Amino acid sequence: MSKYKDMDISSKVIHAGGHPDKETGAIMPPIYQTSTYAQSSPGVHKGYEYTRSHNPTRTRLEECLAAIENAKYALVTASGISSAMLVVQSIPPGSTIVVGDDVYGGTYRMFSTIFHETYNIIFIDTTDLKLVEKTITDHKPKLIWLESPTNPMLKISDIRKISSLAKKYKCKSIVDNTFMSPYFQNPLELGADIVLHSMTKFINGHSDVIGGCLMLNDKKHYQKLWTLQNSLGPTQSPFDSWLVLRGLKTLAVRMEAHQKNALKIAKFLESHNKVERVLYPGLKSHPSYKLAKKQMKGSGGMITFFLKGNLGQSKKFLSSVKIFSLAESLGGVESLIEHPAIMTHASVPASVRKELGIHDNLIRLSVGIENCDDLIKDLEQALKKV
Ligand SMILES: *Cc1c(COP(=O)(O)O)cnc(C)c1O
């Protein structure tokens, strides 16, 4: 990846993995829509044998992803959750895994309904450094799983301090960096061992692909993850990899636009009399504003807020918006709105949701890159109906 080392990320997203096609000079990469490859004699090939193992379009995407997280290796998988699955499976069964208590609903479900049978899973509040240290020394985990900022409470954990603590006790650290994208946060540079993204979100950015990726520097661990993927099967199709390569080219301009709109909207909501509280890392009122400024290069496009009101009023508000689409997921160019308690976090038990603060009046926005005044007008007219 050294070729791209000195480029800014806004250039890397366009050029890394983007060399013209050797055969034709085509500026845009071909989609190698093939399952298999001809060999000149048994075992003699050009590095590609079967698309579950390798595919040239996917290889290009991996080259770009490694470059933008400044990693030696990147592995593209069929979904964010399959990336997560491979990381868990790369840890010896029976090990203890410490997981942040406010992770993405699907990650929570993966640990609490599948992997709790083969691993000792401990959920803790990873924003509490003393608790993290006590849990690591008491339970000797092999892996600590961070998401920062979290979904939907936008809690921020100190990646640098936790990764260095983990290293001291020979525990690997992984950061789910989906919310910030490589444009606003680079966990490997803060000391984490592995970075995970759901490419479905900001990396692809157009809500038309499911995909995941892992970036890391440890060659042995990368080989283990690749072997697991090749043996278990969750690879991404060449066409989807091509779409992500295409979407990724505008990551820098998209992230700037998401953030610009989100900051304006967060301020608008914070000053609105029908809103109880707003959570956005770019607002001084965010409980970890200082830490956010230190470890992130921006505050992203996700906003969580509490309406003054009950479930009925939240539903009224959610069904009154016109530009925002009521839908799960996030990170696309279009603005989305959702109700975590009923939608994305329904798999988190009600008692746990209550403990975390995911109440019935909590609403999550994925702010798109439309005209900001249009978005604010839309929210304003929907708030009037509450
Ligand atoms: C969506 C998401 C995932 C899961 O990714 P999929 O591509 O849906 O499998 C994991 N972590 C976070 C933070 C997410 O938002």
pLDDT(84) > 70: yes
Q: How confident is the model at residue 2 (pLDDT cuts 50, 70, 90)?
A: low
Report the pLDDT value the prediction gives residue 352, as an integer from 0 to 100. 87
Angle at 162 between CA 156 and CA 164, to 5 degrees: 145
Q: Are 2-248 and 252-384 in the same CATH fold?
A: no
**What mean pLDDT comes out for the span 83-90?**
98
Poorest-confidence range of 114-123, 252-261, 330-339, 349-358?
A: 349-358
- Structure token pair of residue 34: 């093939």
d(CA 76, ligand 1 centre) in Å: 14
SS3 326: strand
* Cβ–ligand 1 contact at 202 (below 6 Å): no
- 87: amino acid identity, one letter: V
**373, exposed or middle or buried, with CB in 10 Å at 0-12, 13-18, 19+?**
exposed
Q: Which CATH number is associated with domain 252-384? A: 3.90.1150.10
For the chain, give every domain's residue range: 2-248, 252-384
* Number of the ligand 1 atom closest to the C-alpha atom of 107: 10
- Asked if pLDDT for residue 1 goes beyond 80, the answer is no
* Nearest-angstrom CA–CA distance, 216 and 61: 15
Topology of the domain comprising 2-248 = Aspartate Aminotransferase; domain 2 (3.40.640)
* Spatial CB neighbours of 172, under 8 Å, sequence gap ≥ 6: 91, 142, 143, 144, 166, 193, 194, 221
Closest CA to 358 of 80, 100, 99, 105: 105
Find the 98 Cα to ligand 1 centroid distance in Å. Answer: 19
Is the Cβ atom of 73 under 6 angstroms away from ligand 1? Answer: no
257-297 pLDDT, tens digit each: 999 999 999 999 999 999 999 999 999 999 999 999 999 99
108 CB less than 6 Å from ligand 1? no
Report DSSP letters for 150-218, one per residue. -TTT-----HHHHHHHHHHTT-EEEEE-TTTHHHH--GGGGT-SEEEEETTTTTT-SS----EEEEES-
pLDDT at res. 348:
84
Provide the pLDDT for residue 295: 98
Confidence of residue 300 (pLDDT cuts 50, 70, 90): very high
| pLDDT number for residue 326 | 96
Give every strand in the sheet of 325-326, ordered side by side.
Answer: 275-279, 302-307, 362-366, 336-338, 325-326
Centre of ligand 1 from the C-alpha of residue 234, in Å: 15
| Catalytic residue status for 201 | yes
For the CA of 210, the nearest atom of ligand 1: 7
Q: How confident is the model at residue 32 (pLDDT cuts 50, 70, 90)?
A: very high
Length of the chain, please?
Answer: 386
**pLDDT interval class at 5 (50, 70, 90):** confident
Q: Does the pLDDT at position 210 exceed 90? A: yes
What is the average pLDDT score of the chain? 96
pLDDT in tens, 231-251: 999 999 999 999 999 999 999
Tokens standing for 278? 């707003």
Rg for the chain, CA atoms, rounded? 21
Is position 104 annotated as part of the catalytic site? yes
Mean pLDDT of 82-100: 98
Q: Is 364 in the pocket of ligand 1 (CB under 6 A)?
A: no
Q: What is the per-residue pLDDT for 115?
A: 98
Taking CA atoms only, the protein residue closest to ligand 1 atom 8 is: 80
The answer to whether the CB of 300 falls within 8 A of the CB of 364 is: no
Assess contact for 26 and 20: CB atoms under 8 A: yes
Q: What percent of the chain has pLDDT over 90?
A: 94
Kindly state the average pLDDT of the residues 74-95. Answer: 98
Whole-prediction pTM value? 0.96
The residue to which tokens 């509040």 are assigned: 125
End-to-end C-alpha distance for the chain, whole angstroms: 52
Alpha helices in 233-283 (DSSP H): 238-248, 251-270
| Predicted local distance difference test score (pLDDT) of residue 141 | 98
